[in-house]
Amino acid sequence: MSVMKWSGMTSRLIAAAAVASSAMLSAQIALPKAVQEAGVDRTGVPAVKLPGNNDKPAFGDALIPDMVADPSISEINGTFYCYATTDGWGRGLATSGPPVVWTSKDFLNWSFKGWSFPSDFDLKYWAPSSIVYRNGRYYSFPTLDGKITAVVADSPLGPFLAPNGQHVTKATVHPFPIQQNSSIDAEVFIDNDGQAYMVWSRRREAKLKPDLLSLAGPTVTIPTKRQGYSEGPYLTKRDGIYYYFYTLGGGETYKYAYMMSHTSPMGPWQAPKHDIIARSNPAANILGPGHGCFFHPQGSKQWYFVYLEFGRGGTTRQIYADKMNFNADGSIQPIKLTKTGVGALGANTENAPNLALGCRATASSTRPSYRVRLETYRKLKRVETYSPANAVDGANGTRWMAAAGDRHPWFEVDLGEPHHIRRTEAYFVKPTAGQAYRIDWSLDGKHWHIYGEHDTVVICSPHRDEKSVRARYLKLSILKGHPGLWEFRVYGDPARTHGLTGVSNEQR
345 located within any domain: no
250 and 364: one domain?
no
Same domain, 319 and 364: no
The candidate with the shortest Cα–Cα distance to 74, out of 151, 3, 128, 19, is 128
pLDDT at residue 501 is higher than 50: no
Q: Are residues 118 and 198 in the same domain?
A: yes
Last residue of a domain, one of 273, 301, 324: 324
Taking a C-beta distance cutoff of 8 angstroms, is the pair 397, 318 a contact? yes
- In this prediction, residue 1 carries a pLDDT of 65
Q: pLDDT-derived band of residue 308, with 50, 70 and 90 as boundaries?
A: very high
Q: List, for residues 309-320, the tens digit of each pLDDT value.
A: 999 999 999 999
Q: How confident is the model at residue 506 (pLDDT cuts 50, 70, 90)?
A: very low
pLDDT in tens, 347-405: 888 889 999 999 999 999 999 998 999 999 999 989 999 999 999 999 999 999 999 99
Percent of the chain with pLDDT over 90: 82
**Residue 464 domain flag:** yes
Query: Residue 344: inside a domain, yes or no?
Result: no
**Is residue 56 classed as helix, strand or coil in its secondary structure?**
helix
Range of the domain at 405: 360-507
39-49 pLDDT per residue, tens: 333 334 444 44
pLDDT-derived band at 499, boundaries 50, 70, 90: very low
315 shares its domain with 378: no
Would you say residue 218 lies in a domain? yes
- 485 is a domain residue: yes
Q: What is the CATH number of the domain that holds 501?
A: 2.60.120.260
The angle subtended at Cα 322 by Cα 71 and Cα 249, nearest 5°, is: 60
d(CA 228, CA 225): 10
Whether residue 495 is predicted with pLDDT greater than 50 in this model: the reply is yes
For residues 316 and 368, state if they share a domain: no
Digit-coded pLDDT (tens) for 450-489: 999 999 999 999 999 999 999 999 999 999 999 999 999 9
pLDDT category of residue 289 using cuts at 50, 70 and 90 = very high
Q: What is the CATH number of the domain that holds 134?
A: 2.115.10.20
Q: Which helix (H) or strand (E) holds 143?
A: strand 143-144
Are 115 and 203 within one domain? Answer: yes
- Supply the pLDDT for residue 54: 57
- Rounded to an integer, what distance in angstroms lies between the CA atom of residue 279 and that of residue 287? 8
Instruction: Tell whether 333 is covered by a domain.
Output: no
Residues 386 and 303 in one domain: no
Last residue of some domain: 304, 324, 344?
324
Residue 347 domain-assigned (yes or no): no
pLDDT, residue 55, reads: 72
Assess if residue 396 is contained within a domain: yes
Whether 211 and 77 map to the same domain: the answer is yes
Quote the CA–CA distance of 164 and 2 in Å, as a whole number. 31
Residue 376 half-sphere exposure toward CB, CA atoms < 13 A: 21
In the chain, the number of structural domains is: 2
Specify whether 381 is located in the same domain as 474: yes
Secondary structure element (H or E) that encloses residue 242, with its range: strand 241-248
Q: Which residues pair with 419 in a beta bridge?
A: 471
Which comes out higher in pLDDT, residue 409 or 12? 409
Residue 290 shares a structural domain with residue 439: no
Average pLDDT, the chain: 89
Instruction: Report which secondary-structure segment, H or E, holds 35.
Output: helix 33-37
Residues 297 and 364 occupy one common structural domain: no
Q: Which pLDDT score is estimated for 402?
A: 98
Tell me: pLDDT of 67 over 50: yes
Q: Quote the CA–CA distance of 190 and 185 in Å, as a whole number.
A: 17
The per-residue pLDDT for range 131-159, each reduced to its tens digit, is 999 999 999 999 999 999 999 999 999 99
pLDDT of residue 496: 60
- Among candidate residues 324, 346, 375, the one where a domain is terminated: 324
Domain check: are 190 and 110 in the same one?
yes
List of residues 6+ apart from 499 with CB closer than 8 A:
347, 348, 351
